[in-house]
Amino acid sequence: MTDLKTTVTSLPDNKVRLDVEVPAEELRLQVDKTVRKLSREVRMSGFRPGKVPRNLIVQRFGKDAILAQTLEDALPGWLQRAIDGSGIKPVDQPEVDLADSEAGLDELLDEKIPLAFKAVAAVMPRPKVGKYTGMEVEKDVVSVTDADVDEQVDMLRRRLGRLEEVKVARPAGEGDYVLIDFTGYLDGEPLEGGASKDYMLELGSKQFIPGFEDQIEGMEKGQSKSFKLAFPEDYKPERLASQDVEFDVTVKEIKERVLPEADDEFAKENSEFDSIAEMREGIKARLQDAGEEEAEKAFRARAVEKAVNEAEVEIPPQAVATRAHELEMDFVTSLQARGVSADQYLNQSAEEKEKFAEHFRTQAETVLKREAVLETVADIEDIEVAEEEVEEEIRKAAPRVGKEPEELILEMKQKGRTGIVRDDLIHKKAAAYIAEHAIPVLKKAGAVSPEEKEKEEKESGIITP
């Protein structure tokens, strides 16, 4: 794949013009691709699909039509490659002009004249950055306590614990596991999907509707009970919302989880350590490392946020709308990945849709401001990303998308998508630069308030409407 010759000219009103030349050799390859495509689609007597000679295809459709089809198929990719190579950030769809390219197909190919086109695009205004080095920024001091280690050990004990039937007659309580038969009745009729036999339920797990487990607490083995409950107002399916349902429940067994002792034998069997003391030290070191890594991430986010607040950033409304739409589509995709139908999200009320839309607009503006400041800092400080770094990042991503590394690199280059990877690396390097030149003000880490959590989520780009 050959490189496109692209020249960038600044225009008034935050616009740029791209003058692009597509080498004749690449144009010829695209024309050949168009001819092969038409050969597969056309039906001509005496020839099988895909076997119609080139001269007959040209004669049938005409050179101008073939050139027009080639441009229709290839121009979007050429434009994206030109944008990717130039490093500009259009805030809307560029306007493409082929008016200066009047040469015909024969002239372009026979005389090896490059195909020229222009594109005018609106771009993000350059921010006026303020102070971004020497800033005082809070940094959490990580301190792992014995209670933190106890919690981790207990989690492992619970995971490895075994269920044993309670031999002494006693009522079931929170934390017990009860084996039950139950049937639900709506208006005196058995509720579809509302019955089960030999169902193992952990009391306190809140698996059932509110009040169900509360009714079973206090029951003993062999005991049966009937009680009424109302389904929540927001219950799905909606036909059951707020409905009164009567349940018949029988407790067949009560079991409790017996935990292994946290001793040297436990450590040897379930870790790489030879004693419980060594195991606890290992857990403490792991928690300390993880905590310090999180503290560094939070410190970097705070430093970048402070640099953004020091800057004057103007974000065009169209850029906000475009990025908000991208964020919404990413959110829908994440819902589908979790098994939630997109229809449930798309078929919301107008009020709910506006609430989500406002969330995405706010998040889009926050992300765009941060990116604009990071890119400006990178430009001022001559922070660059080499082609080798981009390719290495793509190689790391290849296993996640099920492709060979070199195949994915070639595909992204052909589609002009390597700029996305380059931008991400630039943002990371600029954020690291700002953090490295910030002055840490140490503070003891504490519980994160809902307000701080929401702010950190916005800064990290996490979608949690």
- Residue 427 to residue 308: CA distance in whole angstroms: 13
- Predicted pLDDT of residue 353: 82
Q: Is residue 263 part of a domain?
A: no
Positive/negative CA dihedral, 119, 122, 123, 125: positive
User: Which residues, including other chains, have CB under 8 Å from residue 51's CB and lie 6 or more apart?
Assistant: 39
CB 175 within 8 A of CB 257: yes
- Residue 175 to residue 94: CA distance in whole angstroms: 62
Q: Each residue of 153-185: pLDDT tens digit?
A: 999 999 999 999 998 999 999 999 999 999 999
- Predicted pLDDT of residue 2: 62
Name which residue leads in pLDDT, 340 or 432: 432
Which secondary-structure segment (H or E) carries 384? none
Structural domain harbouring 435: 296-460
Residue 387 binned pLDDT confidence (cut-offs 50, 70, 90): very high
- Predicted pLDDT of residue 4: 87
- Residue 260 to residue 282: CA distance in whole angstroms: 19
User: Which residues, including other chains, have CB under 8 Å from residue 40's CB and lie 6 or more apart?
Assistant: 49, 50
Asked if 238 and 305 sit in the same domain, the reply is: no
Q: Is residue 370 part of a domain?
A: yes
Asked if 440 and 318 sit in the same domain, the reply is: yes
- Predicted pLDDT of residue 103: 61
- Predicted pLDDT of residue 436: 97
The last residue of a domain, from among 231, 258, 285:
258
Asked if 100 and 25 sit in the same domain, the reply is: yes
- The residue type at 434: I
- CATH number, domain of 205, equals 3.10.50.40
* 267 has a pLDDT exceeding 70: yes
